[in-house]
Amino acid sequence: MSPFLRESALFGSSTGLEQGSRLLSNLAVAGILGPSIWGAWYLLNLVLRYGSLVHLGVTNGMNRELPAALGRGSEREASHVQRASLGFVLAAFSIAAGVTLLGNTLLPQPFQLRHLAPTVLLLAFHQLHGFGITALRARTRFVTISRVQAVSAVLFPLLCVPGALLGGLTGFLLGQVATYLILIVVMGLANPDLFRPAFDWPASLGLIRIGFPIMMVGVTHTVFSTVDRWIVVAFLGDTALGYYSMAILALGTVQLVPRVFAQQVYPRMAFDWAKHRDPKQLFQHGRKQARFAFIAAAAIAAPTALLAPWAIRTFLPAYTPGTGALLVSLAIPAVTVIGQGFGNILNIINRQGLYLVVIVVGTVVNGGVSLLLVEPLGLLGVALGTLAGYLAIGVGLVLLGPPALRRVAATAPDTSATNGVPSAGSTRGPGDKTTAL
């Protein structure tokens, strides 16, 4: 077995263990809270999804520039990228937390403080945990990440399910806060230099210049992936969102292993691109990611489609109205693999604008089809709209990704056509910049 596959097996199994633990815990909490309150959690969860914007792309810049610095052979630069990123994240989230809590009082119908305060605290620890995982991933320390994920698999049910039993939604939120706090401590003890900030604003601004376009791709994808929730709430209500959460959980499950491969491949892409500037090598990374993602998605989706309806009827009968949407969502990974790899490639070669266009088109398709079908088909129609949106993104990446990579290759002095993508020497592609830190 190759080192990559051994790493994939360890990282994939720990990711599966962690996500399986979270899935079962979430299902247990869904049963405890009921569809209405569980739907309210999915609205609060949007705070976590959109709250990551406050770092302005610094973490995204680190995710690309840290392995690129290592590819150039500069550990000192890589370390400073990491520390400057953390310094800005801490400052940004401290300001954002205060503004959010104060701004809540100005809303016509403010969130209850007993729910909003732990949600803001959860956002802070969630993002700090995300920073640590991103830094470790950028250094390809997947063995360390695997251990952290194994600890997470134990902590989440141990703290969050009893929290929901004892304190309802507030207890569930505080259980997650405690989980992320312990995981941050575990990462810090295993890697003493991981959480050492440096408040270097010029360096942080350099990372923002690189990471903000990448972040905007992520923001647009967040909008894309949450359109269905807004439509469900607007047309069908909070309780229906609780039913629909079964489809959201199912989609997260089948996308799990493909996401593992994407996370493994991305820092290797950035490292090799900084070191060799070879589009052929970049294309091969993307093709490997697509191949593994397709196999993994098929292997997970088929048994899930067979077992999930029975499991819901047996253990969560109150959520049975969401079964049809769940089955449709299981087909989504089969269409996303069409463009797998090219999203990473467009980020690496600084063609985020193309990626952004593709996601915007996918969002329009998602929202348009969902709005057309929500009245006649309900939750099933919204799920079909989401499937159509993912298909549009996959097709768009296939149509725009390879030509963009070939144009970058054409700027290099030495090219040769192989596998449909010319290889190139060490010349940087147009618009590709790094920040000296």
Residues 213-230 pLDDT 10s: 888 888 888 889 889 988
Whether 434 maps to a domain, the answer reads no
HEC string of the chain equals CCHHHHHHHHHHHHHHHHHHHHHHHHHHHHHHHHHHHHHHHHHHHHHHHHHHHHHCCHHHHHHHHHHHHHHCCCHHHHHHHHHHHHHHHHHHHHHHHHHHHHHHCCCCCCCCHHHHHHHHHHHHHHHHHHHHHHHHHHCCCHHHHHHHHHHHHHHHHHHHHHHHHHHHHHHHHHHHHHHHHHHHHHHHHHCCCCCCCCCCHHHHHHHHHHHHHHHHHHHHHHHHHHHHHHHHHHHHCHHHHHHHHHHHHHHHHHCHHHHHHHHHHHHHHHHHHHHHCCHHHHHHHHHHHHHHHHHHHHHHHHHHHHHHHHHHHHHCHHHHHHHHHHHHHCCHHHHHHHHCCHHHHHHHCCCHHHHHHHHHHHHHHHHHHHHHHHHHHCHHHHHHHHHHHHHHHHHHHHHHHHHHHHHHHHCCCCCEEECCEEECCCCCCCCCCCCCC
pLDDT for 242: 87
- Mean pLDDT is lowest, of 88-92, 361-365, 390-394, for 88-92
- Per-residue pLDDT averaged across 111-139, rounded? 83
Is residue 100 over pLDDT 70?
Answer: no
Average pLDDT, the chain: 83
pLDDT band for position 182 (cuts 50, 70, 90): very high
pLDDT above 50 for 121: yes
- For residue 429, what pLDDT is reported? 33
Predicted local distance difference test score (pLDDT) of residue 367: 95
Question: What integer pLDDT is reported at residue 427 of this predicted model?
Answer: 31
Q: pTM of the prediction?
A: 0.69
Q: Report how far residue 412's alpha carbon sits from residue 96's, in angstroms, rounded to the nearest whole number.
A: 44
- Using the predicted structure, report yes or no on whether residue 249 has a pLDDT greater than 70: yes
State the pLDDT confidence band at 102, using cuts at 50, 70 and 90. low
Q: What is the pLDDT of residue 195?
A: 93
Question: Which pLDDT score is estimated for 76?
Answer: 92
Q: What is the pLDDT at residue 104?
A: 55
| pLDDT higher than 60, residue 434 | no
Structural domain including 49 reads 3-423
What mean pLDDT is predicted for residues 36-40?
83
435 or 227, which is more confident: 227
**Would you say residue 388 lies in a domain?**
yes
Question: Within a domain: residue 167?
Answer: yes
- The verdict on residue 62 lying in a domain is yes
For the residues 352-366, what does the mean pLDDT come to?
Answer: 92
Cα separations in angstroms, 194 against 55, 85, 186, 250, 403: 18, 11, 11, 33, 39
Show Cβ contacts of residue 167 under 8 Å, excluding neighbours closer than 6 positions. Answer: 174
Looking at residue 259, its pLDDT comes to: 76
Q: Check residue 113 and give its pLDDT.
A: 56
Q: Is the pLDDT of residue 430 over 80?
A: no
pLDDT of the residue at 421: 34
Q: Of the ranges 27-31, 368-372, 377-381, 429-433, which one carries the lowest mean pLDDT score?
A: 429-433
Using a pLDDT cut of 70, give the percent of the chain over it.
88
In percent, the amount of the chain with pLDDT more than 90 equals 39
Total domains, the chain: 1
- Does residue 428 lie within any of the structural domains? no
Task: Please say if the pLDDT value at position 90 is more than 60.
Answer: yes
Where is pLDDT greater, at 401 or 106? 401
Residue 435, in any domain of the structure: no
pLDDT at 116 over 80: no
74: left (phi over 0), alpha (psi -120 to 50) or beta: beta
Confidence of residue 376 (pLDDT cuts 50, 70, 90): very high
What pLDDT score does 414 carry? Answer: 42
Averaged pLDDT for residues 178-203 = 92
